A and B are shown apart, each in its own frame.
Chain A
């Protein structure tokens, strides 16, 4: 196994090994299952892990309903949203060739938020909110694409600046909507803005999008590895850069749109999960795509479990938990990667 012998741990003297990526991904899959188990057990009513299995397959009963009706759909939704965000973040970071890239940096969540808040202001039902959020995300994506593409030149800097300015514009609109909204609508709006999974009970679609999206991203992975080294360098090594860039933009935008539609703008998972994998394991996107997806999914699943249980029965918006966990993790990462501390 070629490139994956790399990474900080091998820099400490571990020999490159063909089985290492499988071990790594297998370990992350096990970690995801563990996170799922924890989220099924924990909550307002704590279940006995030993009885979990029998409760799962029992005919009816309180515990059976609790798991199948409430906790499992929410856990799978959280996992899907975390995976979508991590995958979109990894793609955005390569597209913009900026380690600070995250799924929201180009204003996609801002578009979704503005549309959702307008729908809430108009008193639309929850079902409509989903449609509005997705429509807003798509509109923002097309706006950024058209404006950044306007003159033909589409450098990462131009795309980044266009996206950041559009995001700032959405931010202003969001503040405006909040300012003119009646007080009784504000809590719902604020929860949406902070990222909230309490209404996320239909995991099938986000899981499907996640599966298809990761498969698509895996096909792009060899090109992503080269694109991370610069567009010209990638082109000189045989990558058709323009179609690849376009596909990354579309894929990352659709993944983000799906994620914010389900859970609002949940912060930090999309930024931190790809970095955790890059720094802790490997930068090779053939591993990073599945690895960061599993990592993002399980991190958000754990964060959501905390959000449900920390002040139970009150539920915290999961975005607050991810941000509170994400800030120290990210600062630690930055500290760890200062050149003087790099291995070698």
Chain B
């Protein structure tokens, strides 16, 4: 059974059509890359898939259940969302912030238990923030905040993760490191993920499926090897793209 399924989904934002009649099925073990130019509506689509805004038409099912009928807490147990940016208006420590990921699993007014702490500590260790538990989040660098957000998502431990530009603010080493970590954690045990990425080559290296948003409602989806063709990418970004064969993970695409 698909973790997330859309049927005939129409999404518009501020009068701009994001997708029309989209049928998407994300199955366990898959990693989807969502690509599109700035303003095509990638984030809007991601938030719609997470149930944070209503589609104009069509249906979304999460783990077989209609999205609209699930309480938010239940959605959060099944689906995790990494936002493009994090807010730090109020002081908190790294540990406090990451423990927030356990909220959907707690009793309504419960306190986090030893198991919640253990999972959260493991998540912080996995992103390389162990030893920083008591640091204040507003003192973290952009890249550290990004890794904290990823740790929060890992602590949340959903079956499906939707990630909005997870490599933002990360250096090249951490970009591949975090994607490898997510691949290991989110593509095993019946999980899956969908990533918004701007780096075609990272997307091709980590994603087995691609969904291209051309803007104006047109989309193209399928296995990465079939969708990632030079002419599609040129249409997608509206610029010439050079295909250089012989890269370590297949051909390398560079805007010309």
Contact = CB atoms under 8 A, between A and B. Distances in A.
A121 to B, nearest CB: 41
Contact of A344 (B89, B92, B111, B135): B135
A6 B92 contact: yes
Interface residues on B, range: 35 or more
A242 B81 CA distance: 19
A237 B101 contact: yes
B170 to A, nearest CB: 19
A25 interface: no
Interface in A226-249: 226, 228-230, 232-233, 235-241
Nearest to B105: A238
Given A228-B89, A339-B138, A238 B77 contact: yes
A196 interface: no
B134 A342 contact: no
B106 A283 contact: no
A7 interface: yes
B106 A222 contact: yes
Given A236-B52, A236-B80, A6 B96 contact: yes
Interface string B207-244: 00000000000000000000000000000000000000
B92 A283 contact: yes
Interface in A304-344: 337, 339, 342-344
Interface stretch (B67-75, B171-179, B248-256): B67-75
A16 to B, nearest CB: 8
A225 interface: yes
Contacts of B198: none
A214 to B, nearest CB: 14
A126 interface: no
A283 B96 contact: yes
B103 A3 contact: no
Nearest to A96: B89
Contacts of A239: 72-73, 103
Nearest to B103: A237
Nearest to B74: A238
A10 B133 CA distance: 10
Contacts of A237: 76, 100-101, 103-104, 156
Nearest to B98: A3
Interface centre among B89, B93, B99, B136 (most CB of A within 10 A): B93
Contacts of A286: 111
A237 B74 CA distance: 9
7 contacts: A228-B92, A229-B97, A229-B100, A238-B74, A238-B77, A283-B91, A337-B91
Given A97-B87, A99-B89, A222-B103, 11 more contacts: A2-B112, A6-B92, A8-B136, A11-B135, A222-B108, A226-B100, A239-B72, A240-B72, A337-B91, A343-B134, A343-B135
Interface of B: 47, 50, 52, 71-77, 80-81, 83, 86-87, 89-93, 95-97, 99-101, 103-104, 106, 108-109, 111-113, 116-117, 132, 134-136, 138-139, 156
Interface of A: 1-3, 5-8, 10-11, 16, 93-94, 97-99, 218-219, 221-222, 225-226, 228-230, 232-233, 235-241, 278-279, 283-284, 286, 337, 339, 342-344
